[in-house]
C-alpha cells in the first residue's frame, strides 16, 4: 500500500534589508523534517545585506532590487513586485525589510504577506522601538507578526511574543531578547499559514477558524 502524497510545500519568498537573523530562523525551520513550507527566494533592497549571504549559504535563490536604482517609489515597487512574482510565492514574508511598500504591491498580496515588528503592536509603531520603550519605563515589550496592510505596522495581528524589560536593559540588550522571541514566533506563524490554518478575513486574522484576538 502506498502512502498518500504530502501536499507540496508552501512557497515562501523572504524580503530582507540587513542582518537577516529572522531569515535564518525561517531557513532553519524549513530544513526540519516535514516542514510545511520552503523558502524559494530571498530579495534584498540593500546590496550589502548579510541576509543575502545567509540565502547563498542555504542554497536559496536571491537577488537585489536596490531602491536607489529607481526614480520613484512606484518604480521600485513595480520592480520589487516583478521580482517577487517570478518566484510564484504562496506567501511573502518581510523579515527586517526596511522599506514602506505602496498600496498596489500590498494589495496584490493581501492575506499572503506578513511582517514582523519589534514591539507589542499597536504600541510603538515605527522605528527605534527599544529606545522608546526604555524612555517610557515600560515593563513589558516584545514582537508582533501581522498581516501587511497599506498602513504602516497596522495590519491584523497573528502572533505576539513578550519579554520583560529589566532595570539594567539597554536598547541593545532589549533588542537581542526581542530577537530571540522573534525567532520563535515568525517560523510558527509561517508554519500555521503553510498548514492552511491561518487566514485573513476582512480585517481579522483567523487561526483554525477562530478570530485571533491578541
Ligand atoms: C527585527 O527586529 C525586526 O523585527 C525589525 O528589524 C529587525 C531585523 O533583524 N523589523 C522592523 O523594524 C520592521 N519595521 P534581522 O535582520 O536580524 O532579522
Name the residue among 143, 127, 149, 14 with its Cα closest to residue 80.
14
Q: How confident is the model at residue 7 (pLDDT cuts 50, 70, 90)?
A: confident
Q: What is the pLDDT of residues 161-170, one digit of tens each?
A: 999 999 999 9
Residues 6+ apart with CB under 8 A from 117: 125, 129, 143, 144, 146, 153
Expressed in angstroms and rounded, the spacing between residue 147 Cα and the centre of ligand 1 is 15
Q: What is the pLDDT of residues 104-135, one digit of tens each?
A: 999 999 999 999 999 999 999 999 999 999 99
Q: Is 185 in the pocket of ligand 1 (CB under 6 A)?
A: no
Would you give the DSSP letter of residue 191?
Answer: H
Read off the C-alpha cell for 105: 504591491
Q: What are phi and psi of 193, to 5 degrees?
A: -60, -45
Q: Are 165 and 184 in contact (CB under 8 A)?
A: no
pTM here is 0.96
What was the pLDDT predicted at 213?
85
Q: What is the mean pLDDT of residues 45-49?
A: 98
What was the pLDDT predicted at 203?
93
pLDDT mean across residues, the chain? 96
Query: Domains in the chain, ordered, with CATH?
Result: 10-198 (3.40.50.170)
List the catalytic residues: 117
Residues 6+ apart with CB under 8 A from 38: 9, 10, 11, 12, 30
| Closest C-alpha residue for ligand 1 atom 17 | 21
Expressed in angstroms and rounded, the spacing between residue 6 Cα and the centre of ligand 1 is 33
Amino acid at each position: 500500500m502506498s502512502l498518500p502524497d504530502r501536499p507540496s510545500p508552501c512557497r515562501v519568498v523572504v524580503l530582507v534589508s540587513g542582518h537577516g537573523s529572522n531569515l535564518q530562523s525561517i531557513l532553519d525551520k524549513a530544513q526540519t523534517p516535514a516542514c510545511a513550507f520552503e523558502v524559494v527566494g530571498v530579495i534584498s533592497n540593500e546590496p550589502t545585506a548579510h541576509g543575502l549571504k545567509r540565502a547563498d549559504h542555504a542554497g536559496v535563490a536571491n537577488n537585489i532590487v536596490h531602491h536607489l536604482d529607481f526614480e520613484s517609489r512606484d518604480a521600485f515597487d513595480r520592480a520589487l513586485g516583478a521580482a517577487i512574482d517570478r518566484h510564484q510565492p504562496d506567501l511573502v514574508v518581510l523579515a527586517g525589510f526596511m522599506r514602506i511598500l505602496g498600496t498596489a504591491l500590498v494589495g496584490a498580496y493581501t492575506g499572503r504577506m506578513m511582517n514582523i515588528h519589534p514591539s507589542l503592536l499597536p504600541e510603538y509603531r515605527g522605528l527605534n522601538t527599544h529606545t522608546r520603550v526604555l524612555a517610557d519605563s515600560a515593563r513589558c515589550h516584545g514582537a508582533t507578526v501581522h498581516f501587511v496592510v497599506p498602513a504602516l505596522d497596522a495590519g491584523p495581528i497573528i502572533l505576539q511574543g513578550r519579554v520583560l524589560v529589566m532595570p539594567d536593559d539597554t536598547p541593545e540588550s532589549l533588542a537581542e531578547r526581542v530577537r530571540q522571541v522573534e525567532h520563535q514566533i515568525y517560523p510558527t506563524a509561517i508554519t500555521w499559514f503553510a498548514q492552511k490554518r491561518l487566514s485573513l478575513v476582512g480585517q481579522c486574522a483567523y487561526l483554525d477558524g477562530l478570530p485571533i484576538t491578541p
